[in-house]
Structure 1
Amino acid sequence: MFKAWSRSLGARIAFLMSLAMLPLGLISVYQTHVVVEEAQALTRAALLSETVAAATGERELIQQALGAAQGLASAVPLVDAGECQQILSDFIESQQLYIFASYIQASGRMDCSSNGEVRDFAGTDTLERLGGPAVRMRRSGAVTKQSVVIASHPVMEGQLHMGWLTISIPHSVANALLESTLPNQELKLASINLDGDVVSSTSGVEAAPGFLPRDIPLSGLHDRIGLAFRAPSGSGEERFFAVAPMIDDTLVLVGSWPMSVADTGGTGPRALTAVTFPALMWVTGIIVAFFGLQRMVVRHVRQLRSAMRKFALGERRDSYLELANPPEELEEAQRAFNRMALIISEAELRQERDLRDKEVLLKEVHHRVKNNLQLIASIMNMQSRSARSAEARHMLAGLQRRVRGLAMLHRTLYTTPNMTTVDSGDLVRTVVEDVSSLSKDGQIDLRVEIESFPLFPDQAVPLSMLVTEALTNAYKYVGTSTDGQNEILISLAETKDGMVKLKIENSVAEDTDPEVIAEHQNDGLGNRLMTAFIRQLNGELDKLQKPGRFGMHITFIRRDFTPQKRAGDAA
């Protein structure tokens, strides 16, 4: 057990640091502790004591105000508004130090006050600044219009919060009590509440930031109660600060002293000497510890980091890590890394095999679906040949065309390297070639302007079927316009904001009214199908109808794959 402990990193560093710091400990126990710490401790204690004593008058005043607020808070819920007003009025008349008292309900309405005034503070910052028990400073009171210190206490009825009882003290009274008890004219005092607001100051609230700590939030001074420290003030002067409690959990008192008064015994030749030797010993210890750490820790950590970086970059060959005589802790890290590398490598191999199996299975599914759809299309073709009526042959031809469109989509899916998306350009060009082969007419000029971008199947299917139906209609109604054009235009493009625009236009004969074509389309199965496909794409349709030209412009947003919910999940 001792052998294992002696190999630990902590034991080795502790031995080296103890060896380096032994002279420092022997010297600093006497010099540093006696010369510096004792002198500064006495100075801090004296300054804290003087700071607390200087605020005795104001402390008693605010404690009395909070006590009076607590007493009145227990009485006002038991009386009506008239009696409440009389109680507060009599209280203010009997007290020379207070100028206003009020009961503010939790809703913000003030129905009871010492001067009989009624107000509604709902929606103002007055309620936000009330707490309980708490002390706040207001440069201009909402009712008194004077600079006041407000002592507030919550009014409770059982566990129910009814409102607040507030007592206002003139700010001049609080400041005067601080100034009258100063033991040293160079001492500056300020009382600060929990929110970091200056409640009173010997130099006035406006001048308080000039002598308070500059780099420490005033609200954070509550965490330094009982401490004395030096820091730059708001005016840039280096000062000594003592923080003492004024009223528990409500106010803190901050005393600000110039360094000439506060710094007694903490500097000088003795203190400099006391610090010099420990500093030299500390530097020696750091040098020894540095080389020790380089030898026992840093070089192993670098090797471990290099191995982890190579493994993270995908290098799996020679991933086994072996450190030369590492400490026990780093040897455990070495074993953990080797186990992790082995587990991850095996998991990646299994994942690659599973992925290959899934790709083969998915390709086979698309291939079989394509073959089945082509078989159905062939059966329809055979049935069409034996059909006796032209109407039946036309209907079967339309069904065959739609089935062939679905088959082409599945063929595109299993021939695409990324089987989760379809290249829009390849898909639409295949549909155009298929429809054009069924509608051969050498006199028609077919213009194809198609951009390529990926589409997920839930948009690729309705898009391919929509192009099939719209292009079939274009071939059906195409004609030579007055300017001699006999063409069909199909355009597919994507804008920078992800909008897809599909245009299918055809020229019409001079004696053909585009509105008539639109009316014929509205009554047919193809139009109903196109409307359904546009709805699946969440697209918008805009029809072009003008002399010699008819077209359909469809706009929709290209989106990511959205799997359909199962019926049980949807319920």
Structure 2
Amino acid sequence: MAALLSVALLPIGLMAVFQTQRVAEQASENAELALLALTEKAASIERRDVRQATGAAATLAALVPNLIEDPEICSARMRAVTDRVPQFGFAGYIPTNGIMTCASSGAPYDFSDDPIFAEAMANPRPRVQITGSGPISGDTVLMISVPVFEPGTGAMAGYVTISTPYSSLSLFKAQDFSEDLLELVTFNGQGQILSTMDETSNVGAFLPEALTLREISQGPSRAIRAQDASGEERIYTFAPVEQGLFYVLGIWEEGAQMSGERSGQMLTVLFPALMWLVSLVVALMAVHRLLTRHLQRLGRQMALFAAARRLPDRPDAGDPPTEILRIQQAFQAMTDVLIRDEAAMENAVRAKSVLVKEIHHRVKNNLQLISSIINLQIRDSDNDETRQALRRTQDRVHGMATIHRDLYQTNESGLVNVGNLIREVVVRSVELSGEHHDVDLQIDVADVWLYPDQAVPLSLLASEGVINALKHMPEEGAGSRWLAVQFTEDGDEERRCTFEIRNETPAEPRPIQRPGGMGRKLIRAFATQLDADVRTKEAGGIFRLEVTFTASDFAPAPGAY
């Protein structure tokens, strides 16, 4: 439900997000402009001093060729400049040989071995340099150097240098910088770092990874976003102090903004989420009040009825809407019908079960009565062959009576444990034969459950098989006699069953008066009912019967429902 309502609110949310994005972008631009303004303010403080020093150096560079012949006059002119401008700590002229004789200090100095002077002579151009130990004062100074050219020839004659003590620079003093400022860097036109706000910091870790300082200096004042050497996103604000000579670079945290802009942007970010949340809560409360709670109650009633046949409460409880009330009324009516129908079905099933058990019980009693009548005929008969035939018939009737007894005593599934039935039939058949005294009977029968359609013919087949096996045994007392009966099920989905009788007594069998008699015919008939494969071996006192069939499911007769 929340997902569907969110989709419904999606257009409004997209509009709010779009507007918020626009506001956030504008706020970000405003923040960058504010940071750039701070950097520009810092640069403007020094721009005046640097330009004043550069102008003074350029003026002296134009005058020096006319004063160089008299070092004292030249030095006096240099002192006049430093006296007039208090922030100038030194002014002097260094010729190409490096021996300075024209300086505000009045003392000569040899710069010929100075690497900075050697590099400056190799590339004559205006320079801005901060050195940690000035050759004259010994302090950190900002040096502005302007090349001097000979009149007429234009040959390089040397440099006029004006230096300002680093301590007098106001770039890092009394500045209203945000706490998000990481570093404030000054550098010259060659991309060399001149100074930093914190001399102990590793400024190289904060510089942009994909841009050099020289590349940054190629352009106007601007703010850019880039990653530093550690992969952190930073804001870089660049402002030139003197184009081509001196630049200022501010390095800020990625989220650096003015406090008012930050709170405003936070509100614009939270507004779409707050609008979506409030709309979603109102819609969910309405849906729950009108629909969800009633459906949940109906679902619980259905679950209770399915689990414990517990009837639901009255349908109008909770004041549901008309549509839900109709569903609850229909469900209650359905439960009443189901309860009555199930009660009627249980009564019918119970009556049917009692009737089926009664039928099996009566059939069993009738078969036992028939067995008793046959037993009377056996007693009244004087002919041995007649008594033997009647006894075999009695045995078959007793087997069928045993089946119905098991069906009467078993559960209501209609299945019979054929294992128990075969054990009883085999033992009874051996006992009725009168030759069970010295017969080693080995029975290995598994418990297999079959329907009576297969249980009855299989038990009768077992009885006939045992009788035939006993006929092929030697006479009693003629040697060792044994009989093995085995019944197994392979356990797979086809339920392939195998019944086997073996009599492998290596002796001369007794003479059989009627080979191919009733027993074999019955075995074939029972095998046909089982749809079984039959393999027999009868020779030299050996009898083996193997019957293989598939246990079938119960198939009702046509027209039976």
Higher RCO (C-alpha under 8 Å, 6+ residues apart):
1
Please, what TM-score do these two structures have when normalized by structure 2?
A: 0.48
